[in-house]
Chains A and B, each alone.
Chain A
Amino acid sequence: MKNKTVLPNVYLAVLMILMYVPIVLVIIFSFNENKLSVRWDGFSWRWYEALFADRAMFESLVNSLILGGSASLAAAVIGTLGAVGSSKVKLPGKDAVEYLSTLPMMIPEIILGMVFMVFFSLIGLPFGMMTLIIAHTAFCIPYVFMLVRARLVGMDKSLEEAALDLGASKIYAFFTVVLPLIAPAILSGMLLSFAMSFDDVIISMFVTGVDSNTLPLRVYSQIKTGVTPEINALCTLILLVTVLILALAAVLSRIGRGKKEPEQAAEIEAR
């Protein structure tokens, strides 16, 4: 049943544009000469210059990169091994553990941040980069796990069986047959993890230490204390990074399993 009226399309277009207005405004005002983001005074790079001159800002950028890199790498290893292992072995209580491992995606972030904070101080882990990495790994694992598991379901099992029949060891078959097949899923899981980690505020706020400020935490405190156009510039840069990562993830999953699948990545998001 094809609907020939234009009204639905107008609705889609209008709402889509509205969703972009705030984003576009941030970008536009990052190039504004005026200090207050209320009127346009002409084009200027000055806020970007101010941003790059800011050492503390640079340090938090480095922190964010280290954090996102480590968390997505750890999540990739744990999530991939878990997904592959779970497709092969049946253990009692397996479903329960798998459900638990995806919980960080379902629980409100505030609660996740809270439980990590009290738990880390219970076991005496000093707050800092380590606690940040553990907390971020916890909410990144579900992305890798679910993407890899979905990929394994669609995979042709006979390829691995053939390798084993031809005398390959299990480990050899894993690295030469299975891993290349699931690599796109792992990579897009990692990129999504990185994107999530790179702009997490709530969880980081609870588990960060004194000298491990991340970029989003800085943005948050600056927005709260008083807005400078530097934030516009910073937000624009963060946007740029996120968009690039997403594009990369979309391209990868397209290579991975034919068309249609940037959706998978979008749909897997649940936070």
Chain B
Amino acid sequence: MKPKRRFRSETLMLVPLYVFTLVFVLGPLVYMVILSFLQRAETWGVTNEFTVQNYAGILEPVYLNTFVESFKLATLSTLLIILLGYPFGYFMAKLSQKWKGRMMMLLMIPFWTSSLIRLYGWIIIFRANGILDKILMGLGITDAPLKLLYTYPAVVVGMIYALLPFMIFSVYSSAEKMDWSLVEAARDLGASRIRAFLTVTLKMTLPGLLSGVILTFVPSMGLFFIADILGGNKVVLVGSLIQDQLMKAHNWPFAAALSVILTLLTSLLIVLYRRLAGVKDLEGLV
């Protein structure tokens, strides 16, 4: 269809979306970038002086370390989520149509209900002398409470729990679209099960797997309340750092610089994904 020069009345329908998007999405994002180059004022607020000091500040060992730690935690959680979620999505795609629908419905509840509430359930489990300790001690596996709450493993479990559905949905949606006869063909031509999986299945589900990685890796850098609730103050993520700088230290330019870096890292991952998977939209999003 050729663009028409003539004004069409339907254009008016776009006005609210465009205005809202430009003012309340683009505006704040642009301001975040500007703010990250401004000088912090003596007590509160910002001055209009240009500086790159905020970015230099991130290179200080304390903050750099937070990025590294965040990155490590995100990597660990994402790896575990792949190990758990990939088989789940894959097996689910092999179920009968009826069961696919049922599993979908069952996944909706943990997926859509407040992650806060679901995390709260883990507090009940992990708490000293809580459910987990009772079970382990009852079975004679341990003889003293493990005190898992407010530890690193608790945070990892929380991350996995909050983000696993994203991986499952992504893998499922690309495995579901897969043409299984290709796997059969590979098997008929003499490929072993493992070889058929590696050369056909894995390749075909790669877009889903990669989009799952992005959907889990990106948020796990920022989900500060998981570290907060399940990790006490022991685990500090980039997200927690931004929140602290904003709410407690009132150093907004520094918080903005941290956010810019995090956004850049995020975008980089998405660009990388598009290159690798050769798709425009994240698999499983629509």
Question: Please, which residue of chain B has its CB at the minimum distance from the CB of A264?
Answer: B286
Interface assignment of B153: CB less than 8 Å from any CB of chain A: no
CA distance A11 to B89 in the complex (A): 11
Question: Measured between C-beta atoms, what is the minimum distance from A211 to chain B in Å?
Answer: 18
Contacts of A118 in B (CB 8 A): 28, 31-32, 35, 252, 255-256
CA distance A246 to B243 in the complex (A): 31
User: Does A117 contact B169, Cβ atoms closer than 8 Å?
Assistant: no
User: Does B14 contact A11, Cβ atoms closer than 8 Å?
Assistant: no
Which of A8, A12, A238, A262 lies in contact with B117, CB distance below 8 A?
A238
User: Does A85 contact B218, Cβ atoms closer than 8 Å?
Assistant: no
Interface assignment of A159: CB less than 8 Å from any CB of chain B: no
**Which stretch (B52-60, B61-69, B107-115, B136-144) binds chain A?**
B107-115
CA distance A134 to B23 in the complex (A): 11
User: Does B17 contact A19, Cβ atoms closer than 8 Å?
Assistant: no
User: Does A145 contact B17, Cβ atoms closer than 8 Å?
Assistant: yes
Interface assignment of A266: CB less than 8 Å from any CB of chain B: yes
Interface assignment of A157: CB less than 8 Å from any CB of chain B: no
Given contacts A114-B32, A223-B229, contact A250 B105 (CB under 8 A): yes
Contacts of A250 in B (CB 8 A): 105, 108
Question: Measured between C-beta atoms, what is the minimum distance from B58 to chain A in Å?
Answer: 15
Contacts of A109 in B (CB 8 A): 219, 222-223
Contacts of B184 in A (CB 8 A): 1
The main secondary structure of chain B at its interface with chain A is helix
Question: Measured between C-beta atoms, what is the minimum distance from A109 to chain B in Å?
Answer: 7
Which of B88, B101, B119, B121 lies in contact with A15, CB distance below 8 A?
B88
User: Does B14 contact A91, Cβ atoms closer than 8 Å?
Assistant: yes
User: Does A85 contact B169, Cβ atoms closer than 8 Å?
Assistant: no
User: Does B13 contact A85, Cβ atoms closer than 8 Å?
Assistant: yes
Question: Please, which residue of chain B has its CB at the minimum distance from the CB of A139?
Answer: B25
Interface assignment of A77: CB less than 8 Å from any CB of chain B: yes
User: Does A219 contact B124, Cβ atoms closer than 8 Å?
Assistant: no
Interface assignment of B155: CB less than 8 Å from any CB of chain A: no
User: Does A266 contact B21, Cβ atoms closer than 8 Å?
Assistant: no
One digit per residue, 1 when the CB lies within 8 angstroms of any chain A CB and 0 when it does not, for chain B 190-227 equals 00000000000000000000000001001101111100
User: Does B255 contact A114, Cβ atoms closer than 8 Å?
Assistant: yes
Contacts of B28 in A (CB 8 A): 115-116, 118-119
CA distance A150 to B286 in the complex (A): 8
Contacts of B123 in A (CB 8 A): 223, 227
Contacts of A270 in B (CB 8 A): 166, 215, 282, 285
Which of B95, B183, B222, B246 lies in contact with A1, CB distance below 8 A?
B183
Interface assignment of A231: CB less than 8 Å from any CB of chain B: yes
Chain A, 152-195, CB within 8 A of any chain B CB: 170, 192, 195
Question: Please, which residue of chain A has its CB at the minimum distance from the CB of B237?
Answer: A110
Interface assignment of B106: CB less than 8 Å from any CB of chain A: yes
Which of B13, B92, B219 lies in contact with A271, CB distance below 8 A?
B219
Which of A8, A88, A117, A195 lies in contact with B246, CB distance below 8 A?
A117
Interface assignment of B262: CB less than 8 Å from any CB of chain A: yes
Chain A, 128-150, CB within 8 A of any chain B CB: 134, 137-138, 141, 145-146, 150
CA distance A66 to B13 in the complex (A): 26
User: Does B20 contact A141, Cβ atoms closer than 8 Å?
Assistant: yes
Contacts of B20 in A (CB 8 A): 78, 101, 137-138, 141
**Which stretch (A46-54, A55-63, A198-206) binds chain B?**
A198-206
User: Does B228 contact A219, Cβ atoms closer than 8 Å?
Assistant: no
Interface assignment of A255: CB less than 8 Å from any CB of chain B: no
User: Does A266 contact B104, Cβ atoms closer than 8 Å?
Assistant: yes
User: Does B8 contact A26, Cβ atoms closer than 8 Å?
Assistant: no
One digit per residue, 1 when the CB lies within 8 angstroms of any chain B CB and 0 when it does not, for chain A 70-84 equals 000000011101101
Contacts of A201 in B (CB 8 A): 114, 116, 225
Chain A, 1-21, CB within 8 A of any chain B CB: 1-3, 8-9, 11-12, 15-16, 19-21
Can you report 17 A-B residue pairs in the complex whose CB atoms are below 8 A from each other?
A: A22-B119, A39-B134, A82-B18, A88-B13, A91-B14, A108-B222, A110-B262, A111-B242, A119-B24, A138-B20, A145-B17, A150-B286, A170-B9, A199-B116, A219-B116, A223-B116, A264-B286
| Residues of B participating in the A interface, judged by any CB pair closer than 8 Å | 1, 3-4, 8-14, 16-18, 20-22, 24-29, 31-32, 35, 84, 87-88, 91-92, 94-95, 101, 103-125, 127, 129-131, 134, 161, 164, 166, 169, 173, 180, 183-184, 187, 215, 218-219, 221-225, 228-229, 239, 242-243, 246, 252, 255-256, 259, 262-263, 266, 270, 282, 284-286
| Apart from A106-B270, A150-B286, A263-B104, 5 more pairs, CB < 8 Å | A1-B187, A91-B11, A91-B14, A115-B29, A216-B116
Closest 10 pairs between A and B when the two form their complex, measured CB to CB: A22-B121, A82-B17, A85-B13, A199-B114, A108-B222, A119-B28, A115-B28, A8-B91, A110-B222, A85-B14
